Amino acid sequence: MAIKTLKISPLGRVEGDLDVRVDIEDGHVVNAWTHAEMFRGFEVILRGKDAKAGLIVTPRACGICGASHLTCAAWALDTAWQTEVPRNAILARNLGQLVETIQSQPRAFYGIYATDLTNKKYEHSPFYEEACRRFTLYKGTSFEQGVTISAKPLEIYALLGGQWPHSSYMVPGGVMSAPKLTDITKAWSILEYFRKNWLEPTWLGCSLERYEEIQTYDDFLAWLDESPAHSNSDLGFYWRMGLDIGLDKYGAGPGKYMSWGYLPHEDKYQWPTIEGRSKATIMKGGIYNSFTDTHSEMDQSFVRESTARAWYDEPLNDIHPFDRTTKPSTNVAKDYEGAYSWSTAVKHQDLGRLEVSPLARQLIAGGRHGEDWQHYDGFILDAFKKLGGASVHLRTLARMHEAVKLYRQAEHCLREFRLQDPWYIEPEAKDGQGWGATEAARGALSHWLKVKDGKIANYQIIAPTTWNVGPRDGEGNRGPIEQAFIGTPVEDSSNPVELGHVARSFDSCLVCTVHAHDAQTGSELARFRTA
């Protein structure tokens, strides 16, 4: 069977436009290349600027994950300056991070992902008509409700930082604000509104407490069968439809997963250090290797970046982010044998390419590594094993599974604020090296910072999308999304919605266009969308 090449341009995402090339044989993808197509050069801009400039600049790297960038920027300065951060400030930063992610869950599911379920490919599915009723762009009952209510959690962010997106309220030594009792009570009311108007009635079809009883995949299936309210909730409906249309059958990816862990505990990270972070986060980080079924620790020193196949004029060997120089190339032709992306290839020095995502976080949450008190949840790891590994469907379930537990963490922050205690301790500026990390909605994010003579000597960001969408590395290994495309069925090359599902399951942030050409004739093959 001949190989057919589809070139898809663009498959956009928030940092710029993403193009994809896939080779298809016998109706399945056998090879794939991803191209990041926009470069602004924030690392270049930050060189020589005020040490605190990252607090203003980096949230603007991504309008969707701005709070996550701000979190990293603040902790990077804290570790570089060796500050003391009061517990109220840790809680206020965590709450900002949490509400951004809670916002992102419905926005990503309805706005970016679920509209694909109305694709004509599925018109013979018994679920199709209902999917259109719920998920159609603008008009779907759940689309409209979900996209609209996604703005609510951000009101809590505004109480803390004045506005979302793009506040800079997290600063070395704490936070700029000092919330009052009325801010806390208002935040409770907003959370409650979100729970009562979407999370419980629309998404779960049950109380948070009932959902929290689910510990295994069998528990989940039992919950699904327990009541029509469960099976017809958006979660129940989506899960059943996904199985019907085979979303559990493809989109696996590299099979190795990484998370930085996040939400530093308010009593355990008041004197932040790079080394001390992994033992101080409520949600533990680490690595899960599904080939050996083992969990292990992760450290920032294990990270390497390869620019061998990316548009940079830098050394070809793998280097640690602290040693990057970020020299963009003026030659940006797509060379499938050479450089073909603005994204670097990020890897673990020993384990190679790793997926970062809510799925990665949840597989790591199922490990018994880490500290006794850190968060443990075995549900998604159990489902992973029962279902035979990762897929588009499981990746999406993992993302939405986090909604309830993050809601609980937000409640924890509100309970733990002590209004008479400090929110900020004026730090002393110093030269040094810092590192800040968190988990954005889409996966692991971290900033590496070098301060010299009060100025930024080097600032390096590795975003979740950099991990996932990177091109091949120096050894020719595919990036995680490239790998996830392998084996994906493309039933109709004029409507390859399956490729959209794979890319969307990584939460690529923006709905996008896809344009396919027959590589041999150049004639148009497709008019379709991926999201």
Partner 1 sequence: MANVLWLQGGTCSGDTMSFLNAEEPTACDLISDFGINLLWHPSLGMEMGEELKQLLQDCVSGKIPVDIFVFEGTVINAPNGTGEWNRFADRPMKKWVEELAAIANFVVAVGACASWGGIPAMEPNPSESQGLQYTKKKAGGFLGADFRSLAGLPVINIPGCPAHPDWISQVLVAVATGRVSEIELDKYHRPKAFYNTFTQTGCTRNLNFTYRASAIEFGQPNSDCLFYDLGCRGPMTHSSCNTLLWNRVSSKTRAGAPCIGCTEPAFPFHELKPGTVFKTPTVMGVPKELPPGVKPKDYALLTMVAKGITPEWVEED
Q: Which of residues 408-427 bind partner 1 (CB under 8 A)?
A: 422-424, 426
Alpha helices in 366-463 (DSSP H): 379-386, 392-416
- Count Cα atoms within 13 angstroms, Cβ side, for 504: 29
Which pair of tokens denotes residue 518? Answer: 């027959």
Minimum distance of partner 1 from residue 504's CB (angstroms): 13
Minimum distance of partner 1 from residue 102's CB (angstroms): 14
By beta-carbon proximity to partner 1, the closer residue of 50 and 371 is: 50
* Binding string, residues 212-241; x marks residues near partner 1 by CB under 8 A: ------------------------------
Residue type, 144: E
Determine contact, residues 488/20, Cβ cutoff 8 Å: no
**Residue 93 makes contact with partner 1 by CB under 8 A:** no
Minimum distance of partner 1 from residue 367's CB (angstroms): 33
Q: Which stretch binds partner 1 (CB under 8 A): 31-39, 262-270, 349-357, 460-468?
A: 31-39
**Radius of gyration, alpha carbons of the chain:** 22
Per-residue CA distances from 458 to 70, 168, 205, 279, 462 (Å) = 17, 20, 49, 27, 13
The beta strands (E) that lie in 241-312 are given as 256-259, 262-264, 281-283, 286-289, 294-296, 303-306
**Residue 454 makes contact with partner 1 by CB under 8 A:** yes
CA separation for the pair 90, 173 (Å, rounded): 10
Minimum distance of partner 1 from residue 375's CB (angstroms): 28
* Binding string, residues 106-145; x marks residues near partner 1 by CB under 8 A: -x---xx------------------------xxx---xx-
**Residue 440 makes contact with partner 1 by CB under 8 A:** no
Q: Between helices 392-416 and 497-505, what is the axis angle to 10°?
A: 30
**Residue 319 makes contact with partner 1 by CB under 8 A:** no
**Residue 184 makes contact with partner 1 by CB under 8 A:** no
Minimum distance of partner 1 from residue 83's CB (angstroms): 12
β-strands 262-264, 256-259: how paired? Answer: unpaired
Q: Which of 77, 90, 175, 356 is close enough to bind partner 1 by CB under 8 A?
A: 175
CA separation for the pair 423, 477 (Å, rounded): 46
Minimum distance of partner 1 from residue 225's CB (angstroms): 34
Instruction: List phi, psi (to 5°) of 420.
Output: -85, -10
Q: Which of 52, 87, 324, 450 is close enough to bind partner 1 by CB under 8 A?
A: 52
Give the burial class of 10: count Cβ atoms within 10 A of its Cβ; 0-12 exposed, 13-18 middle, 19 or more buried. Answer: middle
**Residue 430 makes contact with partner 1 by CB under 8 A:** no
Site for partner 1 in 498-527 (CB under 8 A): 509-516, 524, 526-527
Q: Which stretch binds partner 1 (CB under 8 A): 161-169, 196-204, 295-303, 462-470?
A: 161-169
Q: Which of 4, 20, 34, 66 is close enough to bind partner 1 by CB under 8 A?
A: 66
By beta-carbon proximity to partner 1, the closer residue of 375 and 455 is: 455
CA separation for the pair 356, 374 (Å, rounded): 19
424 forms beta bridges with 174
Minimum distance of partner 1 from residue 497's CB (angstroms): 11
69 forms beta bridges with none
Terminal Cα distance for the chain, rounded:
29
CA separation for the pair 382, 394 (Å, rounded): 11
Residues 6+ apart with CB under 8 A from 425: 83, 84, 85, 86, 173, 174
**Residue 38 makes contact with partner 1 by CB under 8 A:** yes
Minimum distance of partner 1 from residue 340's CB (angstroms): 12
Q: In a 3-state reduction of DSSP, which class is residue 19?
A: strand
**Residue 280 makes contact with partner 1 by CB under 8 A:** no
Q: Which of 5, 125, 166, 323 is close enough to bind partner 1 by CB under 8 A?
A: 166
**Residue 67 makes contact with partner 1 by CB under 8 A:** no
Total interface residues for partner 1 by CB under 8 A: 92
Minimum distance of partner 1 from residue 337's CB (angstroms): 19
By beta-carbon proximity to partner 1, the closer residue of 37 and 355 is: 37
**Residue 16 makes contact with partner 1 by CB under 8 A:** yes
